[in-house]
Amino acid sequence: MQPLLSVQDLSLDYSDSSQSSASVLKNVNFVIQKGETVGLLGPSGSGKTSLLRCILGMPAPAARIRCAAMRFEDRDLLALPSRVRRTLRHRRMGFIFQDPVSHLSPYRRVRSQLRDMLPSAASNTDLLDALHDIGFDQPMRIAAAYPHQLSGGEAQRVAIAQALAALPSLLLADEPSSALDSVTQRRILDLLLQLRAEQQIAMLIVSHDPALLSAIANRILVLRAGSLVDYEPLPQRRIARMPAPAAPSSPLLEVRGLNFSYTQHRLWPRAPRSTPVLKGISLSIEPGQCLAIIGASGSGKSTLARSIAGLERRFTGDILFKGEYLGPSRPRAVRAAIQLILQDTVGALNPRLTVADILAEPLRIHPPRSTSPDAPGSIDTDIRALLNAVSLPSAYLTRRPAQLSGGERQRVSIARALILKPSLLLLDEALTGLDHDLQESILALVDRLRQERRLACIHFTHDLARVLRSADRVAVLHHGSAVESLPAGAFLREARHPASLQLLRAMLPDPVAS
């Protein structure tokens, strides 16, 4: 049988005017059969995204491609005019992006953006069905929403619905579920499996998560430094659990009765529609502690993180930092002491600055009261040390965000948050885009800072497996309420609330623990 997609001797390099040509892919060969699911595993920066773009026929402008043959549905892709390749993308291939929120247009409702992808004969019911199939209980609400009103997980599900809308024969997915909570992740995986069975959709799924790929893929390809290598399961490794911090001191941060709701205003005076997002959240954290706030997508995690960071001011309730009430405008020292790392890596970094400028910017905004004043060298040393700590070579200092992969961008934003030596670090799904080894090394870095500098941190995440090992306490957020809060060690045994149990049940087998 003729394979659905076959790629022979694909090589790709970027010829940049400033740098010498960098080779991204070297003689890549693979085939995908009809209805087959292939996983593509690789560390960040290994060329996974570039490979997908070659198959789509949309390589980056500076890329040079050499390829012996590339066939899809018995057609020679290399010989097709761009108009035909566009139609193929529209009707025969689906694509799912890693970063869902910024890949939806902020100006149009979900309804009309999804309709663009559906066949023109599709009815309104078809549209709502497409949303329901992807796991939305209230498709009407989602259809009428604008992308900024969705949570990261909801936006990703909309993006998946878009990719599946035209019933493609090949689905390409770039880290499709890294932004989803484990419950939704399971549902999406089940849906993908069902589609594979019913409609013979073949899939090429890119991920850094071997557990996810082995759960869904028929076989796994591994991309390492641009070449395909054999897949072998990860070696067993385990990080020693942090000793609990010494006798509790006064809390670093206290949140008391935080409420938040979105209000949609209309042109004509109708009663504004109010949607509660957070309901009476209270929490406290001491220096050196690590708290994990877990919850399904749309449970209010990001809003809580933004409120604590001071980005969101429309809440009611009190936030105290080192015993001081924080008003709407915060002292500079407090702003420097609370640092937030976001999930969206494209939006978090200024595309016009180099990595060096990005890392130096916080120091310019909050000049350090250093012991050695006017030492320009020390800033540079700090930056290089931090870059090294997040495993990026110092050659990256002159690059701009567009020249980095998703995982590399996230490491830069982690370094940027740490450069001010904050006392509280908020990680809003900050580790989800990173591959396994990097997650471990960044958690180790945070653990070291917790010991050395009594850094406190709060993880806002859906990744129960990861945080259970590094957090002291776990709180479960469900529809905007904190429904359960337990010591991390006792969580597995004592969690009672249905939402917590659901998160536990849906937890993928951890590749390290198992």
* Residue ranges that bind another protein, judged by CB under 8 A: 56, 58, 85-91, 93, 95, 97, 99, 102-108, 112, 116-117, 146, 148, 159, 162-163, 262-267, 269, 314, 346
Is 205 or 507 the residue whose CB approaches another protein more closely?
205
Is 12 or 397 the residue whose CB approaches another protein more closely?
12
Is 102 or 227 the residue whose CB approaches another protein more closely?
102
Q: Are 227 and 63 in contact (CB under 8 A)?
A: no
* Among candidate residues 423, 182, 407, the one with its CA nearest the CA of residue 294: 182
Torsion from C-alpha of 128, 131, 137, 140, nearest 10 degrees? -40
The residues that bridge with 5 in the sheet, in sequence order, are 32, 72
Is 57 or 287 the residue whose CB approaches another protein more closely?
57
99-25-350 Cα angle (round to 5): 35
Query: Least distance (Å) from another protein to the CB of residue 478?
Result: 24
Residue 47: which region, alpha, beta or left (left: phi > 0; alpha: psi -120 to 50)? Answer: left
Neighbours of 1 (CB within 10 A): 5
Whole-angstrom CA distances from 322 to 28, 250, 452 are 55, 8, 19
Query: Least distance (Å) from another protein to the CB of residue 155?
Result: 11
430-432-435 Cα angle (round to 5): 115
The residues that bridge with 206 in the sheet, in sequence order, are 40, 174
Is 241 or 314 the residue whose CB approaches another protein more closely?
314
The residues that bridge with 393 in the sheet, in sequence order, are none
Burial class from Cβ neighbours inside 10 Å (0-12, 13-18, 19+) for residue 18 reads exposed
Q: Are 117 and 166 in contact (CB under 8 A)?
A: yes
Query: Least distance (Å) from another protein to the CB of residue 267?
Result: 7
CA 493 to chain centre: 29
Query: Least distance (Å) from another protein to the CB of residue 142?
Result: 15
Query: Least distance (Å) from another protein to the CB of residue 93?
Result: 8
Query: Least distance (Å) from another protein to the CB of residue 488?
Result: 36
Is 89 or 301 the residue whose CB approaches another protein more closely?
89
Query: Least distance (Å) from another protein to the CB of residue 351?
Result: 9
Element (H, E) at 228: strand 227-229
Query: Least distance (Å) from another protein to the CB of residue 514?
Result: 36
Is 126 or 286 the residue whose CB approaches another protein more closely?
126
Is 309 or 508 the residue whose CB approaches another protein more closely?
309
Query: Least distance (Å) from another protein to the CB of residue 300?
Result: 16
Is 261 or 502 the residue whose CB approaches another protein more closely?
261
Q: In 3-state terms, what secondary structure has residue 162?
A: helix
Tokens encoding 303: 């809003």
Which amino acid is residue 141, in one-letter code? R
Burial class from Cβ neighbours inside 10 Å (0-12, 13-18, 19+) for residue 268 reads exposed
Query: Least distance (Å) from another protein to the CB of residue 415?
Result: 23
Residues of the chain by 3-state class (helix, strand, coil), percent to 5: 40, 25, 35
Is 328 or 393 the residue whose CB approaches another protein more closely?
328
- The distance between the two most distant Cα atoms of the chain, rounded to a whole number of Å, is 72
Is 140 or 513 the residue whose CB approaches another protein more closely?
140
**Spatial distance between the Cα atoms of 71 and 55, rounded to a whole number of angstroms:** 10
Query: Least distance (Å) from another protein to the CB of residue 71?
Result: 18
